[in-house]
Amino acid sequence: MPEDFERMWADLDPVGRSARTTGYFRQPFTSAERECHAWFVEQCERRGLRVEHDGNGNTLGWWEPALDTGEPAVLTGSHLDSVVDGGAYDGPLGVVSALAAIDVLRDRGVQPGRAIGVAVFAEEEGSRFGLACLGSRLAVGTTTPERAAELRDPDGVALLDAMIAAGVDPGLGRSGWVDRVGCYLELHVEQGRDLDLRDEPVGLASAIWPHGRYRFDFTGQANHAGTTAMPDRHDPMLTYAMTALAANKQARLAGARATFGRIDVGPNATNAVPSRVTAWLDARSASDEALATLVAAIEQQARDRAGRDGTALELTVESVSPAVRFDVPLTERLASLTDPRRPVIPTAAGHDAGVLAAAGIPTAMLFVRNPTGVSHSPAEHAGMADCLLGVEALADCLAELVS
């Protein structure tokens, strides 16, 4: 099994990787990301799994029992898209481990009493169309096809046009496969250092913090950077700069997270006072109320500063995902498969598992240790020994669920 596992990583290693940064650029419906899906299809066919494309850009492989018992299926999987300049494990670890876990079950002679599916969800990161978990949201119906059809990438390309250009036959909307799924189990590299600090290679997730994305449109007046006296300016860059510092301070005070990582400036010229700055806030906190309080505090400081700068602020809530609690009986059952039981930890990262859980599908998550906690970065890392322990743990859980 280790050889097959390493061969799968070697296959994926060069796909969409930048020689300059060593990071991955696997934005959805680009050639790099579609090459990852094509590789997945090849892996499914090699294992005799039935391949399904669901019209939302998601790809699934099904191991179906010889005799259909009519029992609901067990679904596992993750995603193969990356953030811009991302790491190797965020997403692919869950897909590669799912395929490897099927190999383990077959080596063990397991004859599943129900179907096992492996899902590869599209645009989990929201790195191209701005809406995270787009593929799973469309599949379960949380996002409507109408809303998805309005999404545009930073170059103005519509989702449907991007899908067609990538050779995907679009059929946006709730996916038929959802109805046959009895539970979902996603394995993911941890994106913090909780397991590392506990000295544990594998754990389970208790809950996902609520998470929102907010667009701040600051507008002022474009002007000459040399001739316009400082008091005569209405510079939205200053309002933005103050807001970015305020977000950091408020998140520190609240034990929460607030990040301005994306910005778009117009006209973005060295010798012009900008006319507008658009910036996106990513905010997360332990409860829905704490998140609302955090964002309100940041907005208040932004508005105060806009008043002083003579600029305007329009705030748009792009998405808010409420807190997600994973299925407690399922998580307890899986945590208790080992002695001592596996640790159960919360996370502030969103996942397709959160979307499926919120849609009422009993869901659990497995995390594999990340020694530095770094993710969404080329420096993201997980040790091969831990990854193999993750595969064994996933195989154990699947065996338990199909028995």
Give residues with Cβ within 8 angstroms of 215, minimum separation 6.
Answer: 278, 279, 280, 281, 315, 316, 318
Least distance in angstroms from the C-beta of 105 to a copy of itself: 30
Pairing between β-strand 324-325 and β-strand 202-208 as defined by DSSP bridges: antiparallel
For a copy of itself, which stretch binds (CB under 8 A), given 58-66, 101-109, 176-184, 215-223?
215-223
Query: Per CB under 8 A, does 287 bind a copy of itself?
Result: no
Q: Which is nearer to a copy of itself, 41 or 265 (CB)?
A: 265
Question: In 10 A of CB 273, how many CB atoms?
Answer: 22
Least distance in angstroms from the C-beta of 149 to a copy of itself: 21
For a copy of itself, which stretch binds (CB under 8 A), given 138-146, 333-341, 369-377, 387-395?
369-377
Q: Which is nearer to a copy of itself, 114 or 369 (CB)?
A: 369
The first and second tokens of residue 201, run together, are 């290679």
The first and second tokens of residue 260, run together, are 């301005």
Q: Which residues, numbered 245-284, are part of the site for a copy of itself (CB under 8 A)?
A: 245, 248, 251-252, 257, 259-263, 265-275, 280, 282, 284
Query: Per CB under 8 A, does 222 bind a copy of itself?
Result: yes
Least distance in angstroms from the C-beta of 283 to a copy of itself: 9
Euclidean distance between CA atoms 361 and 22, whole angstroms: 37
Among 12, 73, 349, 393, which residue interacts with a copy of itself (rule: CB under 8 A)?
A: 349
384-to-93, 107, 318, 387 alpha-carbon distances in Å: 11, 20, 37, 5
10: helix, coil or strand?
helix
Query: Per CB under 8 A, does 157 bind a copy of itself?
Result: no
State the alpha helices, DSSP H only, in 222-346.
236-254, 288-309, 328-335
Query: Per CB under 8 A, does 67 bind a copy of itself?
Result: no
Euclidean distance between CA atoms 130 and 146, whole angstroms: 16
Among 28, 91, 94, 126, which residue interacts with a copy of itself (rule: CB under 8 A)?
A: 126
The first and second tokens of residue 58, run together, are 């998601």
Whether 118 and 49 have beta carbons less than 8 Å apart is answered as yes
Among 60, 118, 244, 387, which residue interacts with a copy of itself (rule: CB under 8 A)?
A: 244
The first and second tokens of residue 112, run together, are 């599943």
Q: Which is nearer to a copy of itself, 43 or 375 (CB)?
A: 375
- Binding residues (CB under 8 A) for a copy of itself: these are 23, 83-86, 125-127, 130, 132, 190-192, 209, 211, 213, 221-232, 235, 237-238, 240-242, 244-245, 248, 251-252, 257, 259-263, 265-275, 280, 282, 284, 347-350, 373-379
